[in-house]
Amino acid sequence: MGRALAIITVLLGGTGVLVGSAFVAQNSLRTTQLSLNLKFAAWELAEPVSVMALMGGAFAVGLLLGSGFFMWRNWGVKAQVRDLKRQLAVTDAGGF
């Protein structure tokens, strides 16, 4: 089971690398004009932005937000474990 899982992981990882490399090769020279048009205000960048920079920025923001949410949740779980350990110590000291 472990060997099959390792082979599948390598195959999926290799496929991901190939697809990512193809995306980079196809979009490395493309640029796009970014603008934000709200009903009360509008903004537009003076220079076009590289699609790769835009994708990299979106990935980085998603990674930071996702890891921040995970760390925030992890801190809550750690506090809950600490409280449960404290309650268990009090219960054990009570002779139950």
Task: Please indicate, yes or no, whether residues 64 and 95 belong to a single structural domain of this protein.
Answer: yes
Task: Please indicate, yes or no, whether residues 61 and 96 belong to a single structural domain of this protein.
Answer: yes
Rounded (10°) angle between helices 2-27 and 51-93: 150
Task: Please indicate, yes or no, whether residues 95 and 63 belong to a single structural domain of this protein.
Answer: yes
Give pTM, 2 decimals: 0.55
Please give the residue range of the domain that contains residue 1: 1-28
Instruction: State the Cα–Cα distance between residues 42 and 35, nearest whole angstrom.
Output: 7
Q: Is residue 74 part of a domain?
A: yes
Q: What are phi and psi of 30, to 5 degrees?
A: -80, 145
Task: Please indicate, yes or no, whether residues 55 and 94 belong to a single structural domain of this protein.
Answer: yes
pLDDT tens, the chain, 96 aa long: 688 899 999 999 999 899 988 888 888 888 888 888 888 888 888 888 888 888 888 889 999 998 888 888 888 888 888 888 888 888 776 655
Domains in the chain, number: 2
Q: Is residue 42 part of a domain?
A: no
